Structure formats: C-alpha cells, structure tokens
C-alpha cells in the first residue's frame, strides 16, 4: 500500500496527464472540468503538503522529544537530591543554633565547629549537584534549540515552494488565458488560487518569525545557565576555603588548649578582653581624629569625597574570594566572640595592603604575636580598619592617599599580627559609619 504522500502525488500527476490529454483531443468540456479539478487539487496538494510536512517534522522531532523527556526526568531527580541536601543542612543549622544558646565550653565549641564543617560539606555537595542540574538544563536547551532549528529549516522550504508557485503564476498572461479559454471562471479560479498561495505564504512567514523568536530565547536561556554554572563554581571554591578555615580553627583550638577546659577558657577570656579593649581604643581614637578633621579646613579630594560625606572605597587587596561575610552565620568564632564585624578577603600571607581611600591614620598598632591592625579615618562619617597584618608601613597621624601601601596581610594562626583567633591567611577589612561597623560590600568599588 503506497504511503499517503506517494498516493497524493500519483493522483496529482494523473490529473496533469488528463489535462494534457484533453487539450490534445480538444475536448473543451473536459478541459474546463480538468482545469477546475487541477486548481482545486493544487490547493489540496499545498494544504496536504503542509500537513504532511508537519507529520514528517513530528516524526523527525520524536527522537529529540524523547531525549528532552529523558533529560527532564534526570533534572527532576537532581531537583529532589538538591532539596534533600537542603533539608539536611537545616538540621545542622538547628543544631548550631542550639549550641549557641549553651555555655561557651571547649566541648561545645568543637561540637559547633563539627556541625559547621558538616553543614559546609553539604553546601559543597549541594553546589556540585546544582552544577549537574544546570548542565542537564543546558543539554535540554540544546535539544530544544536543535528542534527549533529543524522547524526553521522546514518553514524555509515551505516558503521557498510557495514563492516558486507564486512566481510561476505571476508569469502567466491572464488576458491571453481568458481569450483562449473564453471562460471567466477559469480566470477567477486562477486568481483565487494565487491569493490562496499568498495567504499561505504570509502564514508561513509569520510562523517562521515565531519559531525564530523562540530560538533566540532558548539561546539566551542557555547563556544564562552557563553564567550560573560559573557562579556556582566560584561559590564552591569559597565554601571549600571556609571548610579549610573551620578545620584549621578546630585544630588550632585543640592544639592551644591541649584539650583542657581551663586552658580554653583562659584563651577565650583573653580574646574577649582584647576585643573589648581594642573596640574601646578604636572608638576613642576615631573620635579624636574626627574632632581634628572638623577643626581643619582642608580641601577634600574629589575622587574620594562626594556630597553628604558619601565615599567609595577601593579594594585594599586584590579582589578575590571573600571567605567570611559581614555578620556571616558561618563565622567559626561567632559562637565565642559574636558577629563578624567586617569581611575577610582571601589573600596569601604577605600580600600588599593599600589604603581604600585617602585619610588620616588614627592607629597603626603592631601586636607582635598578637593582633595587628591599622585604622584610617577618611572624613567625619567614615573610617576603615585593616586587621591581621603581618607588617605595618605607616605611622599614627600620617595622612595617606587612596591606593598607598600601608602594610602586608597575615592571618596564618601562630604568626606575627594574626592574633589568637584567626581563621587562616586573609585580610580582615571593616568599614565604619559614625563609629559602627557596616557591610563593606555596600561601599567597595
């Protein structure tokens, strides 16, 4: 049994043959009837051709559709895995919050760090699953792009065929046809046939534009997913840095306390006392320098100052990963010392530190094996603090410009300037507004 397309073509050519035969035998009535059948069937062929083309497109797209369905099933699996990991993370977060309410003991701090480490490990695993999910999404989009490209090629072929038929009809001399056939109906049939072709052409062109627009949207979606993957990879590296930091802190505490509660409590008491003394010192020095600034009539540099005492800060070390955010819930000493008052910018031991903006050095304190830091007052509103410094290159009351070298970073536990409670090599950077710490990321350029 012939296929539908083959059968339609056979009938079509049979009518053409009948039309030619009737002309040869000069059977006028047969000619008129045959011409009408020819015109009507031509329209059927066009509509049928479009219908069959859609059938062939569907068959060609079946394999693509199957691939898309398979990928979508895999995507659902990944979504479930990500959700499950998120739920496990919440369990650890609840444990961490419970520990925060309990006494500050070595046992609780180690338990706190254990839970933090487990939570971060889950976060890394979750990010890896999200990358797999995004890669599957990209694959899904690629198949959809292929599907749209095939549809566009099909539409192009349809448009090409219709244009060829219109062009063929346009070349006919309708006045001669009317004279030869002495029939107005033949001419009307041909005009109707031509208009139908034009209508089909407009429809095909419209479909082409719709499919093309959908294709462009798919390509944009693909680029967005690729960018999300890059962001996820950066986040994984940040989480790995946090993980290493937490493990290092845990190891350092156990080493310093030798597992003895009294030694741990002694370390903690000293750290809290140092923190309070430093905060008091910073506030007093900041107030003193600001009073001096208020009494001086100094022209403010246009690249640093804006109206209303607004200021923009440059990165004090090369912009890399931030291992600890402002008020970061993953700050390993949050349970002991409270909220993290700045950001920790990942920097190798001994990285050059530069002034984030012009101003006066309110403090340049070298703490030996303790905590070393620099504080710069920029105007009557803003000041910055640079902590865990292994080297200091400025002196108190010195005026420095934006980008000028002020020291070198440190942060490795047990090294000069790091202090007793450091989380590894980094620069601790604070921005203070009216004496209170604010999120530096809101002001860094």
Rounded to whole angstroms, the Cα distance separating 339 from 74 reads: 41
Give residue 186's pLDDT: 63
Report the sign of the C-alpha dihedral through residues 409, 412, 417, 423, in that order: positive
Contact 288, 362 (CB under 8 A): yes
Give residue 258's pLDDT: 81
Give residue 315's pLDDT: 97
Per-residue model confidence as pLDDT tens for the chain (445 residues): 444 444 444 444 454 444 444 444 444 444 455 455 545 555 455 555 545 555 555 555 567 778 778 888 888 898 899 899 889 989 988 888 888 788 888 888 888 889 988 988 998 999 899 888 888 888 888 888 887 888 788 878 877 887 877 777 666 655 555 555 555 566 666 667 777 777 877 877 787 788 788 778 888 888 888 888 888 888 888 888 888 888 888 888 888 788 788 888 888 888 888 888 888 888 888 888 887 777 665 544 444 444 445 688 999 999 878 888 999 888 888 878 888 999 999 899 999 999 999 999 999 999 888 899 999 999 889 999 999 999 999 999 899 999 999 999 998 888 899 887 888 899 999 999 988 999 999 999 8
Give residue 172's pLDDT: 62
What is the Cα 390 distance to its own chain's centre? 36
**DSSP code per residue over 12-55:** HHHHHHHHHHHHHHT-HHHHHHHHHHHHHHHHHHHHHHHHHHHH
CATH of domain 281-442: 2.70.70.10
What is the DSSP secondary structure assignment for residue 320, as one 8-state letter? -
Give residue 27's pLDDT: 45
In the chain, domain spans: 4-255, 281-442
């Amino acid at each position: 049994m012939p296929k539908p397309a083959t059968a339609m073509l056979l009938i079509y050519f049979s009518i053409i043959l009948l039309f030619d035969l009737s002309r040869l035998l000069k059977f006028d009535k047969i000619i008129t009837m045959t011409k009408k059948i020819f015109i009507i069937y031509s329209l059927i062929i066009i509509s049928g051709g479009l219908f069959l083309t859609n059938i062939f497109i569907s068959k060609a797209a079946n394999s693509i559709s199957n691939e898309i369905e398979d990928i979508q099933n895999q995507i659902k699996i990944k979504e479930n895995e990500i959700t499950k990991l998120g739920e496990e993370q919440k369990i650890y977060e609840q444990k961490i919050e419970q520990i925060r309410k309990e006494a500050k003991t070595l046992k609780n701090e180690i338990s706190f760090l254990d839970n933090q480490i487990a939570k971060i490990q889950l976060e890394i695993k979750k990010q890896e699953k999200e990358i797999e999910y995004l890669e599957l999404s990209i694959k899904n989009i690629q198949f959809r792009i292929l599907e749209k490209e095939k549809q566009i090629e099909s539409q192009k072929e349809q448009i090409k065929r219709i244009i060829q038929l219109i062009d063929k009809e346009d070349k006919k001399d309708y006045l001669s046809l009317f004279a030869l056939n002495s029939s107005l109906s033949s001419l009307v049939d041909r005009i109707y046939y031509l208009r139908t072709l034009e209508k089909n052409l407009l429809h095909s062109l419209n479909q082409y534009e719709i499919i093309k627009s959908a294709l462009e949207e798919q390509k944009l979606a693909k680029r967005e997913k690729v960018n999300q993957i890059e962001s996820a990879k950066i986040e994984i590296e940040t989480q790995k840095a946090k993980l290493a930091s937490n493990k290092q802190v845990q190891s350092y505490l156990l080493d310093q306390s030798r597992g003895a509660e009294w030694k741990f409590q002694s370390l903690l008491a000293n750290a809290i006392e140092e923190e309070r003394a430093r905060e008091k010192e910073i506030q007093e020095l900041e107030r003193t320098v600001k009073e001096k600034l208020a009494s001086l009539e100094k022209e403010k540099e246009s690249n640093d100052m804006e109206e209303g005492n607004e200021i923009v800060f440059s990165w004090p070390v090369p912009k890399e990963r931030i291992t600890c955010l402002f008020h970061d819930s993953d700050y390993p000493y949050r349970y002991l010392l409270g909220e993290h008052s700045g950001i920790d910018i990942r920097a190798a031991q001994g990285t050059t530190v530069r002034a984030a903006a012009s101003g006066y050095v309110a403090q340049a304190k070298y703490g030996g094996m303790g905590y070393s830091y620099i504080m710069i007052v920029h105007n009557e509103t803003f000041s910055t603090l640079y902590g865990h410094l292994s080297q200091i290159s400025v002196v108190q009351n010195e005026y420095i410009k934006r980008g000028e070298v002020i020291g070198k970073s440190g942060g490795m536990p047990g090294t000069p300037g790091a202090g007793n409670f450091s989380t590894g090599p980094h620069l601790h950077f604070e921005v203070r507004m009216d004496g209170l710490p604010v999120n530096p990321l809101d002001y860094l350029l």
